[in-house]
Amino acid sequence: MSKFKRNLITTALPYANGPVHIGHLAGVYVPADIYVRYLRKKGEDVAFIGGSDEHGVPITIKAQKEGVTPQDIVDRYHKIIKDSFEELGISFDIYSRTSSKTHHELSSAFFKKLYDEGKFIEKTSMQFYDEKAGQFLADRYIVGKCPHCGNERAYGDQCEACGTSLNATDLIDPVSAITGNKPELKETKHWYLPLDQYEGWLKEWILEEHKEWKPNVYGQCKSWLDNGLQPRAVTRDLDWGVPVPIEGAEGKVLYVWFDAPIGYISATKDLTPEWEKYWKDPETRMIHFIGKDNIVFHCIIFPAMLKADGSYILPDNVPANEFLNLEGDKISTSRNWAVWLHEYLVEFPGKQDVLRYVLTANAPETKDNDFTWKDFQTRNNSELVAIYGNFINRTLVLTQKYFANRVPERGELTDYDKEVLAEIPQIVERVEKSLETFHFRDALKEAMNLARLGNKYLADTEPWKVIKTDEGRVKTILNICLQISANLSTLMEPFMPFSSQKLREFMNIDVIDWGKMGDGVIPAGHELGEAGLLFEKIEDATIQAQIDKLLATKKANEMASVKAAPAKENIQYEDFMKMDIRVGTIIAAEKVAKTKKLMKLTVDTGIDERTIVSGIAEHYTPEEVIGRQVSVLVNLEPKPLKGIVSQGMILMAENADGTLSFVSPDKEVKPGSEVR
Ligand SMILES: Nc1ncnc2c1ncn2[C@@H]1O[C@H](COP(=O)(O)OP(=O)(O)OP(=O)(O)O)[C@@H](O)[C@H]1O
Ligand SMILES: [Zn+2]
């Protein structure tokens, strides 16, 4: 870090077609915030940049579906995302948006400069056009079958099932996502960044000069570079985005992945008039925090754009994370399979740090990881509450009880005391080392070791017993515990800023400088504040409610994905008329003994009173059905079922989830009325 004067920390711009979920947080925003808070504590100059990515096809599609404008969509989600980040303590210096005036001007000028300098190639090609909609079908406007995995709903730019990036013309049987029509190919002109020309330079810069990048990032770059780079179109035929600022490009906008990373620059420009210092001075260290699907854009395409311009610095590191899954399934905005940050903040008020803790302790740093609510509960109850919270609580309560809430004077130190105190700077050092190499899980684990150390020290020294015989010794013990507690308030701050603030209030202390951590941070005689609980136990019922919510989503998704069974072959009217269907009234009902599904019904069919055995016992109780009018096939050949002869069949509608419901007349009719 030493050769740099300042830090420019960017986070992937969340796409403004939905709120932020725990995957985004674990992959990008929580680690970035930890890193930034740490740098600030070390006294570094930092600009922490965020903002919403507000262009691109998914936003226009969503707007069309809802019958609103794309601007309405991005306004809605920009606000939800910005507010929820703030409440979680993601401490951006600016949270901007790519629909801003600054961004339109800057990204437009960026393109124009490269265009004027001849850095693009111009190409006409055949692209899909929807005659009925009167527009070209860029990216997600076109869907079809993936040539790699057979997924029927692959998009024109990517198959989400197998992750392959595609060209629209690769799709099998493509259709327009707007009208469902079969599109035609039509000629259109676009500008391409000739990535192939940057290949040699990129190989040198990444594969030789940045061997220290995380293996997952380095590996993905290497595979892209080894496969050879192709010119990449940086414009699209769309009307939502930054217009292409040259003649003959009417109706075209910049490709969303061309303008989005420039959003980091325009956000910095909105933050400070000295933005060029952050972007153009080689003494700035730039770090991009992103998830794995953004690696190619931040390690290859954006650097090539910056290089083409020539006046910008390049990232020093891109510590991309792998993906977080939820209860065994890929998190998905469109399938609503997510824990949404804005909902969490309402459902778990005051528990921001619990989420920050769990997402860091379980971060997908080297491989995809799974978030489960059970793990969330366990980490809260047996780590935050039982270790950190418990240590703080015992220390503060005992000090209040024995020493009138004042830090007691220390006596002579035992070897054990000295060892424990000597551990503090060592733990701090290990935390620093992990943070500086983007190992946030290890850093948090190490920070928790300080709380573990305190807990163990208390358990070993047992001040609650010693107090009966040696008050002087207890003074020393609690003095040491209070030193550890005060250190924890600083060491934990990058990870869990809210509880650190709370702890400082409990102890009535100011922020302790990062560099001052160690023994002697809190003087004897200092009066503590009013103690409370740092963390609270989370009950089973709370967790079950969250699990139930996910189960409901799963069920809704299953229902939505079920297609109606295909139509049967045609029959003649006479075939239909052979069936004698009547309205009957159920007059008695009981479950058939030793079966789960069967119910024995007595039905008044208008013709007679008869017994019918029906497989409805899992869907209705006998009490519920008595008195109901139902449709009965009365001329079905009688058949014994579990020793009872069933004389006919009750018609049931079977829902996609397998539940059954009666087909009943919508007003009462006389039993025996014919159904046809
Ligand atoms: N499940 C996840 N785990 C880790 N990182 C993620 C996850 N989902 C998204 N990210 C990262 O969060 C950042 C912002 O994501 P973006 O808004 O582009 O959403 P996305 O990838 O389209 O997600 P979704 O499809 O769930 O909306 C990106 O860098 C992305 O890689
Ligand atoms: Zn596929």
ipTM of the complex: 0.95
Question: For every residue of 76-110, which 3-state class applies, written as one string?
Answer: HHHHHHHHHHHHHCCCCCEEEECCCHHHHHHHHHH
pLDDT in tens, 398-432: 999 999 999 999 999 999 999 999 999 999 999 99
The verdict on the CB of residue 27 being under 6 Å from ligand 1 is yes
Q: Is residue 208 pLDDT above 60, yes or no?
A: yes
User: How far apart, in whole angstroms, are the C-alpha atoms of residue 27 and residue 46?
Assistant: 21
Cβ of 321 below 6 Å from ligand 1: yes
Using pLDDT thresholds of 50, 70 and 90, give the confidence band for residue 623.
Answer: very high
- E strands, 269-420, in order: 284-289, 324-326, 329-330, 369-371
Give the closest residue (by CA) to ligand 1 atom 1.
23
Per-residue pLDDT at 288 exceeds 90:
yes
Q: Is 221 annotated as a binding residue?
A: no
**Taking the domains of the chain in order of start, what are their residue ranges?**
6-109+253-330, 120-209+218-236, 373-516, 573-662
Determine the average pLDDT of the residues in 613-638. Answer: 96
Q: Output the CA 260–ligand 2 centroid distance in Å.
A: 25
What is the model's pLDDT at position 343? Answer: 98
Q: What is the DSSP letter of 638?
A: P
What is the Cα–Cα distance from 30 to 604, expressed in whole angstroms?
66
Per cent of the chain over pLDDT 70 is 100
**DSSP conformation class of 562:** P
Smallest-distance ligand from the CA of 14: 1
pLDDT of the residue at 18: 94
Q: Under 8 Å CB-to-CB from 82, ≥6 apart: which residues?
A: 52, 95
The reported pLDDT for the residue numbered 483 is 98
The pLDDT score that the predictor gives to residue 166 is: 85
Q: What is the mean pLDDT of the chain?
A: 95
CATH number of 573-662: 2.40.50.140
**Distance between CA 42 and CA 624 in Å, rounded?**
69
Two structure tokens written together for 10:
């960017």
Q: Which residues, 6 or more positions from 58, have their beta carbon under 8 angstroms from its beta carbon?
A: 15, 17, 140
- The pLDDT of 303-328, averaged and rounded, is 98
146 is in an annotated binding site: yes
Judge if the beta carbon of residue 202 lies within 6 A of ligand 1: no
What is the widest separation between alpha-carbon atoms in the chain? 105
Q: Stretch 246-268: mean pLDDT, rounded?
A: 95
- The reply, when asked if residue 481 is annotated as ligand binding, is no
Give me the CATH topology for the region 373-516: Isoleucyl-tRNA Synthetase; Domain 1 (1.10.730)
Contact 601, 625 (CB under 8 A): yes
Strand order in the sheet with 135-136: 135-136, 121-130, 184-193, 232-233
Least confident segment among 26-35, 160-169, 220-229, 276-285:
160-169
> What pLDDT score does 366 carry?
95
Q: Which atom of ligand 1 is nearest to the CA of 292?
A: 31
The string of pLDDT tens digits covering residues 331-354 is 998 889 999 999 999 999 999 999
Backbone angles phi, psi at 271, to 5 degrees: -75, -45
Q: Was 149 annotated as part of a binding site?
A: yes
Q: Which atom of ligand 1 lies closest to the CA of 13?
A: 14
Which tokens go with 289?
């925090």
pLDDT of residue 161: 82
**Nearest of 356, 276, 365, 353 to residue 324 by alpha carbon:** 365
Q: Which residues contact 239 (CB under 8 A, 6 or more apart)?
A: 251, 253
Cβ 14 under 6 angstroms from ligand 1: yes
Q: Is 257 in the pocket of ligand 1 (CB under 6 A)?
A: no
Q: Please, is 549 exposed, middle or buried when counting C-beta atoms within 10 Å of its C-beta (0-12, 13-18, 19+)? A: middle
Q: Using the mean position of ligand 1's atoms as its centre, give its distance from the Cα of residue 291 in Å.
A: 6
What's the CA dihedral at 293, 297, 298, 301 to 10 degrees?
A: 160
Q: Give yes or no for residue 1 having a pLDDT over 60.
A: no
**CATH 3.40.50.620, domain 6-109+253-330, yes or no:** yes
Residue 2: which pLDDT band, with cuts at 50, 70 and 90?
A: low
Residue 162, annotated ligand binder? Answer: yes
Residue nearest to atom 14 of ligand 1 (CA): 14
- CB 12 less than 6 A from any atom of ligand 1: yes
Whether 559 has a pLDDT exceeding 90, the answer reads no
Calculate mean pLDDT across residues 188-197. Answer: 97
CA of residue 145 to ligand 2 center, whole Å: 8
Residue whose CA is closest, atom 15 of ligand 1?
Answer: 14
Question: Is the distance from the beta carbon of residue 323 to the nearest atom of ligand 1 less than 6 Å?
Answer: yes
Per-residue pLDDT averaged across 160-174, rounded? 86
Nearest CA to ligand 1 atom 20: 15
The one-character DSSP state at 461 is H
pLDDT of 140: 85
The reported pLDDT for the residue numbered 314 is: 98
Confidence of residue 133 (pLDDT cuts 50, 70, 90): confident
d(CA 605, CA 57): 58
- ∠479-482-488 over CA atoms, to 5°? 150
Nearest CA to ligand 1 atom 7: 23
Query: What topology does CATH give the domain 120-209+218-236?
Result: Methionyl-trna Synthetase; domain 2 (2.170.220)
Distance 245 CA to ligand 1 centre (A): 30
Tokens matching residue 211:
């061997």
